[in-house]
Chains A and B, each alone.
Chain A
């Protein structure tokens, strides 16, 4: 995932009616986030306007297994036994309704063959991220999701993408962020929701979802990336040599991160999360730490509204 920025920089979005996907001619290794962007763009332009060009090497069969060829006019050059698919991955799926989402959580996540504890974390992350898309993105093609378990690193990587209004527009009604990166940082701040300026949110939204996901990634010492509009925010991996649970901050600018506001402008949002299963603490402990920071953020904003004494 640390190479995601290179992928985003290489996007050429100048022709919105046509999609050409090219791979390296010797090897293909992609994060689910790269796959879901490609899939979302293919769905947007339509199968007849999307193709995979050039020589795809043998490792490119992964693109076939994950379902990318099916979304383009290019036939897969790969032949393999379907039963090989019983690997630990979730191929590209499109989720358009909350009922689709519930089916996905119940029926598809078990394909990753995770322990109950780890499955809970993955269900939580996908449940919150997909719901964000369905509720806030106004994407007519829904949420595009893919996930992969990597045995060697005992890690699950998740990518979720939509081609909706993007985070800036979603936050703009109440918060008027100047740039795409400002909008992403607002969306990551606990208690800030695009649906109101009131503390505590509305009956349906608290402004906690993305903060919780970023915090889960941080505690698990992993990457977390959001790309929307021209901006990308990347939470950097918390170094293993630093002992104890990583400290959480309400302000995403305080987390070790990289950011840019200069990428090719992508109309939509992509979220990528890696979860190291070796590092997963008890989920309730993790939630408790996140909840404490959330409360603190509200208290601090509340204090800012207190009347100040007039010293003369």
Chain B
């Protein structure tokens, strides 16, 4: 099953409210991914997002579910800035997860 989430409707024009990101993660994203569903975050109409917001939204799915999150979490209509922030979070989460295995 595929779950479409209209980000603008929930997070507004500029996605910065981490409380909203946390709620989305706990109530929508994690349960859907854990069931094996695909989750599509649609950023149509969202002009920007902070790194903190994106971190609160997707870092835990990456940390907890790894490949399930990489395979089943997709992003639609994200502008260049939002794509860059999502990519940054993907990169540093993977770097740091590997790091936490060591030592």
Contacts and interface: CB of A to CB of B under 8 A. Distances in A.
A101 interface: yes
A105 B92 contact: no
A30 interface: no
Contact of A298 (B19, B48, B56, B99): B99
B6 interface: no
B25 interface: yes
B26 to A, nearest CB: 9
B81 A102 contact: no
A58 interface: no
Given A131-B50, A191-B96, A204-B56, A102 B63 contact: no
A83 interface: no
B99 A199 contact: yes
Interface string A116-133: 100010011001100100
Interface of chain A: mostly helix, strand, loop or mixed? helix
B82 to A, nearest CB: 9
Nearest to B62: A200
Q: Please classify how large the interface on chain A is, using the bins under 10, 10 to 19, 20 to 34, 35 or more.
A: 35 or more
Interface in B3-41: 12-14, 16-20, 22, 25
A294 interface: yes
Nearest to A128: B50
A205 interface: yes
Task: Give the one of A135, A284, A288 with max B CB within 10 A.
Answer: A284
Contacts of B81: 120, 283-284, 287
Nearest to B20: A98
Contacts of B59: 200-201, 203, 206
B44 interface: no
Nearest to B103: A305
A305 B55 contact: no
Contact of B88 (A120, A123, A127, A294): A294
A299 B98 CA distance: 10
Contacts of B89: 206
Interface string B66-88: 00000000000000110111011
Interface of B: 12-14, 16-20, 22, 25, 47-48, 50-53, 55-56, 59-60, 63, 80-81, 83-85, 87-89, 91-93, 95-100, 102-103
Interface of A: 98-99, 101-102, 105-106, 116, 120, 123-124, 127-128, 131, 135, 191, 198-201, 203-206, 208-209, 212, 282-284, 287-288, 290-291, 294-295, 298-299, 301-302, 305-307
Given A101-B16, A291-B88, A295-B95, 18 more contacts: A98-B18, A102-B16, A127-B14, A128-B51, A191-B92, A200-B97, A201-B59, A206-B59, A206-B89, A206-B92, A208-B51, A284-B84, A287-B81, A288-B88, A290-B88, A302-B95, A302-B98, A307-B103
